[in-house]
Chains A and B, each alone.
Chain A
Amino acid sequence: MKELQNSLGAYLKLHWKTAVFLVVLLLGIGLADQFVDSYMRRILNLCAIYVIVSLAMNLVNGFTGQFSLGQAGFMAIGAYTVAVFTVPIESRAAIFYLEPMAPFLANIQLPFIVALILGGLVTAVVAFFIGYPCLRLRGDYLAIATLGFSEIIRIVFTNTQSITNGALGIKSIPTISSLWWTFGIALIIIIATVLLINSTYGRAFKSIREDEIAAEAMGVGLFKTKMTSFLIGAFFTGIGGGLFAALLGTVDPKQFYFTLTYNFLLIIVLGGMGSISGTVIASFVVTLGQEALRFLDEPMAFGLDLPIFRPGLRMVVFSFLLMVIVLFYRKGLMGTNELTWDFMAEKYRALKKRLGGKKTATEGGAKK
């Protein structure tokens, strides 16, 4: 017992800043959960879900260097699993009015958390079948296969009337409103990702990103390692999708158009491909930014009837932003760095030095 106390004490001594930060963060979420209005609550929930999905995407694309564009499709699977298994049995007849729900599903209702995890697992199984042919090959086939898959899954969900209710979608999914679900799961996934990245697996992921041939020569099993990363990513994305369904309370195939994936791509490129903290920051920036820039889509933005403000402008701005980042700030906010205390201290010192340097320079100029 004493030993445990000692080691805990030593740990806290080493990481007291992180511990304080975590406590403050949890208090902040608790306070926000008490006081924010429903609009802000929805946006914050969306931020947390975007953190989960973008982190999963960055794990595959940024850390392992495999270009996957299936996020929208994977989310759809997670979302539909939660929808199908949590909709109250008594309201199913009203929802599936065109064609009754398939009998093998009609009477199963699962608790939310079970359905959520099941959604993640189903997504991972589907990801296995896409990854199996693509990940054995070098090259970009994964990108096209996953993008194609997210289109196909919409087609499939639109056609399986008795399971997904086709184009009508599923309504009255029991919703979550507390911030704890989304932020709690996001925190767990962030911590899991950090632990994963710093483990043997994480180092294998990064070695594949840097140089596949060298990694293989060093004894990293390429296919197995890529597959591990891809499946974990898919699992997290499925969970994110499940939360998304429970946040909105309704799913239909149109929500999971492949352009949804490009949101996450923008996030990981902005945050830095291969940075966990960058992804978290960028998720908030992009999600909040998308809300803040809604005025661009409205004709009377500044009280004037300017013809340039009309639906669609916001997305033009966002896609343009993606291009600018890729062309001029390829590393994004964080590059492959993490926002650790050391990193911040270093930046602070560099900033101080630069400011100080400027000062002496101007002084020198004044002497002349």
Chain B
Amino acid sequence: MVVGMTMETFLQQLINGLSLGSLYALIAIGYTMVYGILRLINFAHGDIFMMAAYFTYFGIAVFFLPWYVTFIITIGLTMLLGVTIERVAYRPLRDAPKTSLLISAIGVSFLLENVANYLFSGKPMAFPEFPLLTTPFFIGGLSIQPVSIVIPIVAFFLMTALLFVINKTKIGMAMRAVAVDYDTAKLMGIKINGVISSTFAIGSGLAAVGAILWCMKYPSVLPLMGVVPGLKCFIAAVIGGIGNVKGAVLGGLILGFSEVLMVAFFPALTGYRDAIAFVILIVILLFLPNGLLGKKQVEKV
């Protein structure tokens, strides 16, 4: 054990890492599902997350809706946003060169950031507090925010539900089929557009839940808040093996733990906190380019 670190602080950091990692996992799933089906890095995903945070902020702090109504509206609106983005910006380019699709994704991301900056101003807004969830309680010297426990539990339930949908339902089977072979799936009569739309809806919905939980833990909303979490969660998806939902969860947790523990063990590196994800990305690409759980992809001519 490193000098100056007691068992309590270590446990404390583990809990922090678990909740941060669960948040990353929730967002990473959106990346990995879209990549699995369209082979596209959905650059706008981080900004969809940001918009969800604004929806929640407006629901609670501006329109004074009860929290459960706000959450339902936020999740609904975010899903709609994700599906609309796919419909307007990605679907017309489905047969275009991949570069165009990628530029379109960046364009959407840039547009959302600028629109948010224009409409809501670049100033950070204070997210309403939930005292019930943020007042820490104490167990044997540990001070724990309830939200740090709630996040992993919510994330766990959602991921179980998602795995059920993917593995046991008809739409999940269609998703897996499209991910394996787009053209054959089409020939087999799978309605590609519906599958892609539902992929975007699920990914965006999870990002919305992620945004709500994120803001409870880090209560500040601003137009560029989605960029760094977005990049990191894509990296989380790469760590686990892009296209693999379980891999995204694993990658998110690894990233969350390594970030929190690095800062805890080496306080001198606090300034470089955001850099660790990219170091991990480079190492993974060098030694395990298919990620921890990914299958080797062979390019077919």
A interface residues with partner B (beta carbon < 8 Å): 61, 65, 67, 69, 130, 132-134, 136-138, 140-141, 143-145, 147-149, 151-152, 155-156, 158-159, 212-213, 258-259, 262, 265, 269, 273, 310-313, 315-316, 318-320, 322-323, 326-327, 330
Further contacts, 5 of them, CB under 8 A, given A130-B282, A144-B281: A144-B238, A148-B235, A213-B301, A319-B115, A327-B104
Least CB separation from A262: chain B residue:
B110
Least CB separation from A142: chain B residue:
B285
Q: In the complex, are the beta carbons of A323 and B299 less than 8 A apart? A: no
* A155/B122 contact (C-beta < 8 A), A144-B41, A144-B281 known: no
* A144/B115 contact (C-beta < 8 A), A155-B271, A213-B299, A273-B99 known: no
Q: In the complex, are the beta carbons of A327 and B285 less than 8 A apart? A: no
A273 partner residues in chain B, CB cutoff 8 A:
99
A311 partner residues in chain B, CB cutoff 8 A:
118
Choose from B93, B99, B103, B113 the contact partner of A65 (Cβ within 8 Å). B99
Choose from B111, B277, B285 the contact partner of A319 (Cβ within 8 Å). B111
Choose from B96, B275, B285 the contact partner of A141 (Cβ within 8 Å). B285
B108 partner residues in chain A, CB cutoff 8 A:
323
Q: In the complex, are the beta carbons of A152 and B275 less than 8 A apart? A: yes
Q: In the complex, are the beta carbons of B102 and A140 less than 8 A apart? A: yes
* A149/B103 contact (C-beta < 8 A), A138-B299, A316-B111 known: no
Q: Measured between alpha carbons, how far is A320 from B286 in the docked complex, in Å?
A: 37
* A312/B118 contact (C-beta < 8 A), A143-B41, A144-B41, A326-B93 known: yes
Interface string of B223-262 (1 = CB under 8 A from A): 0000110010011001000000000000000000000000
B92 partner residues in chain A, CB cutoff 8 A:
327
Choose from A145, A212, A265, A315 the contact partner of B118 (Cβ within 8 Å). A315
Q: In the complex, are the beta carbons of B231 and A140 less than 8 A apart? A: no
Count the B residues whose beta carbon is within 8 Å of the partner chain — how many? 42
Q: In the complex, are the beta carbons of B285 and A134 less than 8 A apart? A: yes
B interface residues with partner A (beta carbon < 8 Å): 41, 89, 92-93, 96, 98-100, 102-104, 106-108, 110-111, 113-115, 117-118, 121-122, 227-228, 231, 234-235, 238, 271-272, 274-275, 277-278, 281-282, 285-286, 289, 299, 301
| A-side interface mostly | helix
Choose from B93, B117, B234, B235 the contact partner of A315 (Cβ within 8 Å). B117
Choose from B113, B117, B234, B271 the contact partner of A159 (Cβ within 8 Å). B271
Q: Measured between alpha carbons, how far is A265 from B43 in the docked complex, in Å?
A: 14
Q: In the complex, are the beta carbons of A326 and B299 less than 8 A apart? A: no
Q: Measured between alpha carbons, how far is A273 from B97 in the docked complex, in Å?
A: 12
Q: Measured between alpha carbons, how far is A181 from B235 in the docked complex, in Å?
A: 40
Choose from B107, B114, B231 the contact partner of A312 (Cβ within 8 Å). B114
Q: In the complex, are the beta carbons of A262 and B106 less than 8 A apart? A: yes
B111 partner residues in chain A, CB cutoff 8 A:
316, 319-320, 322-323
Q: Measured between alpha carbons, how far is A265 from B114 in the docked complex, in Å?
A: 16
Q: In the complex, are the beta carbons of A319 and B275 less than 8 A apart? A: no
Q: In the complex, are the beta carbons of A155 and B272 less than 8 A apart? A: yes
Q: How far is the CB of A347 from chain B (nearest CB, A)?
A: 24
Q: In the complex, are the beta carbons of A316 and B115 less than 8 A apart? A: yes
Q: In the complex, are the beta carbons of A148 and B281 less than 8 A apart? A: yes
Q: In the complex, are the beta carbons of A265 and B275 less than 8 A apart? A: no
Q: Measured between alpha carbons, how far is A148 from B231 in the docked complex, in Å?
A: 7
Q: Measured between alpha carbons, how far is A259 from B41 in the docked complex, in Å?
A: 18
* A326/B100 contact (C-beta < 8 A), A137-B285, A141-B285, A148-B278 known: yes
Q: Measured between alpha carbons, how far is A65 from B99 in the docked complex, in Å?
A: 8
Of B93, B106, B277, chain A has the most CB atoms within 10 Å of the CB of B106
Enumerate the 7 nearest inter-chain pairs by beta-carbon distance, A residue then B residue, closest first: A312-B118, A319-B111, A133-B285, A319-B110, A159-B271, A315-B114, A323-B107
Q: Measured between alpha carbons, how far is A309 from B159 in the docked complex, in Å?
A: 44
Least CB separation from B274: chain A residue:
A155
